[in-house]
Amino acid sequence: MLWYRISFSKLNIYVATSRQLKRLISVTLSPIFSHFSETLSGVSTIRAYGLGDRYAQLNAAHLDLNNSAKFVAIITNRWLSIRLEFMGNLISMLVAAFSVASRGQLTVGFTGLVISYTFNLTQSMGHLIRSLADLENNIVSVERIKEYSEVVQEVNLSVFFQLFINYFAVALLDSQIILFLLTPYQFF
């Protein structure tokens, strides 16, 4: 039972860190896609002004930021693996030491079975912890969709542009009428 408590304490640390790293990776991935699509749509203009190197450097900066977040996620995954392997090896050593200490009371087959199960215990706990972390990481995507759905939409500028045109058309029409009414002698 101590093994499970220690494993789940590592689970809490790993899951919290992994969830935030997944969020960070997703946030740093968005500028890459947006920059790429903007570059593709304006590639002729970029070439005309000779700004290809600038856009390549900007793309490299976006990729570096995203790769650094992914690198930290890989390091965190390795941290979990090392901790779990250490705890599994410690338990295997304790079981082996206990079986040697109680040499006459346990059969050889039972001792071998228990030691082989302790080796599998490490892999099983690692798989369980990673599965739970993946589940929470995938929930981050749902959280981001929820956040985006609650963002207040920006004002549609085409409506304001149409109102602007209509206002000035009426204003010009009114000013011509006013001019016509105020200076009728210009038309003679």
Give the whole-angstrom CA distance, residue 87 versus residue 129: 14
Give the whole-angstrom CA distance, residue 7 versus residue 15: 12
pLDDT digits (tens, 9 = 90+) for 38-90: 999 989 989 898 999 999 999 999 999 999 999 999 999 898 888 888 888 88
Answer whether 87's CB lies under 8 Å from 119's CB: no
Closest CA to 73 of 164, 134, 162: 134
Closest CA to 76 of 132, 128, 16: 16
Average pLDDT, the chain: 79
Answer whether 92's CB lies under 8 Å from 118's CB: yes
Q: Candidates 3.90.1150.170, 1.10.10.10, 1.20.1560.10, 3.40.1190.20; correct CATH number of 2-151?
A: 1.20.1560.10
Give the whole-angstrom CA distance, residue 80 versus residue 107: 34
Considering the entire predicted model, what is its pTM? 0.67
